[in-house]
Amino acid sequence: MKKGGRLVYSTCSIEPEENMGQIEKFLAKYDNFELQALDEFLDEDVLSEDLMSYQTLPHTHQCDGHFGVLLKRVK
């Protein structure tokens, strides 16, 4: 992927090891990527406090559980 390219990582899971756990491993291995804020794309009620990921939960959002982040290649 060229510099400036973006990658979406999304799962239909609410398990931390499948979600931020995988992202943390990816970012530890590839220091040329950074998380990008999602507040311009998604409603606030599904965003994490730092705006860098989204999570839906069946009991809160009346849909399946999902997770996602946007990664940008910076180097």
Ramachandran area for residue 13 (φ above 0: left; ψ -120 to 50: alpha; else beta): beta
Residues 3-57 have pLDDT tens digits of 999 999 999 999 999 999 999 999 999 999 999 999 999 999 999 999 999 999 9
Tell me what pLDDT residue 34 has: 98
> What counts of helices (H) and strands (E) characterise the chain?
2, 4
Pick the closest to residue 48 from 28, 27, 69, 34 (CA basis).
69
